[in-house]
Amino acid sequence: MYGTSKSLTWVAINGAPSIRAKEIVYTPPTVDPDAAPKAEGPGAAPKSFNVLRANLYFQSGEISFEVHRKSGDSLCQIILNAGLEREIFVGLGLRASTYIIAGFRASKWEPIASAGWDVPPREGEWIKVHIRVIGSTIELSVDGVRVLTGTAIIEKSQLGLFLSGPEEVRARNIEVNEQRPQAFVVMQFTEEFDTLYREVIKPTCESFGYECIRADDVYKNGLIITDITSSIRAASVVVADITPNNANVFYEVGYSHAIMKPTILLAEKGRDLPFDVSAFRTVFYENTIGGKTLVEERLRKHLTGLLN
């Protein structure tokens, strides 16, 4: 159930950490520190490391835990998108950057955000870490203070944990509170499209566990464009009907593409798409009862692809 803490079970897929009820302990192998090879990555951590995966598939919500490091040169990071093409590491770095959000793809690191340059390492004490993931926004807080914010596409995947360093690292009381991911719907506000939204798009997205929100649901007292862009960033997927030449719709689709947000385009069959979006995969439909059934089936296939 969303909004409740999940009970986690961890299994090591690299190394041999000690896994207890509420604590995981990484112990480095006994080697000559001067001869230990160095890895190429954020902070140049030693190649000795442990990787674990949990029984929980995570996409949106909050993760909290405590970390104890005997050495400030040790790493403790949550892995998002674990096992996917681009994994995202969030947590405690070392040396040049105390706190990091970094991508890892094709054996190469891709820095996303970092903070805490030349900050003296905190050794021998428990540190409270909190990670918040809403749509493509990742926030990292330490001891109740937000220290870092980054942006990355987060897909539903097993939760991972990365521990590394020259000395023992302990992680305990790992808790996860999932939040229902959002599907943000962009379309023209007329009865024809209202019907498509109510009868097809909204129930289909909700059947996949998304909270379905349309642009007219988010208008507040501030600037409309600020409300819209904030909602797109907070969403896990954008569904856009581009049948009419609506400037607002195309602006919001363009913004979604600019921040690499997974976007599903819908259009009525026979629509001559503008050149700028003609290269994107589009679900075409007929505005009939049978046509709505077909668009529901194709929308389901797209959403299934995002969740697998």
**For position 148, what pLDDT does the model report?**
94
**For position 94, what pLDDT does the model report?**
59
**For position 216, what pLDDT does the model report?**
76
CA torsion through residues 41, 42, 48, 51, sign: negative
- Average pLDDT by consecutive 10-residue portion of the chain (308 residues)? 72 95 90 51 63 95 96 92 95 82 93 85 90 94 95 92 95 94 91 88 92 76 74 92 89 91 88 74 75 82 75
Q: What is the DSSP letter of 121?
A: P
**Which domains, and CATH codes, for the chain?**
5-178 (2.60.120.560), 182-307 (3.40.50.450)
**For position 52, what pLDDT does the model report?**
97
Segment (H or E) for 300: helix 289-307
**For position 41, what pLDDT does the model report?**
46
DSSP collapsed to 3 states, 158-225: EEEEEEECCCCEEEEEEEEEECCCEEEEECCCCHHHHHHHHHHHHHHHHHCCCEEEEHHHCCCCCCHH
Q: Give the position of tokens 């990555």.
A: 41
The CA–CA distances, whole Å, from 243 to 140, 223, 225, 250, 273 equal 40, 26, 21, 10, 8
**For position 1, what pLDDT does the model report?**
54
Structure token digits, residue 290: 């049978």
**For position 2, what pLDDT does the model report?**
62
Of 162, 163, 141, which Cα lies nearest the Cα of 150? Answer: 141
**For position 217, what pLDDT does the model report?**
72
**For position 45, what pLDDT does the model report?**
46
| 86 and 65 Cβ atoms separated by less than 8 Å | no
Structure token digits, residue 45: 């951590």
DSSP collapsed to 3 states, 212-271: EEEHHHCCCCCCHHHHHHHHHHHCCEEEEECCCCCHHHHHHHHHHHHCCCCEEEEEECCC
Q: 272, exposed or middle or buried, with CB in 10 Å at 0-12, 13-18, 19+?
A: exposed
Report the alpha-carbon distance of residue 16 to residue 194 in Å, rounded. Answer: 55
**For position 57, what pLDDT does the model report?**
93
| 17 and 163 Cβ atoms separated by less than 8 Å | yes
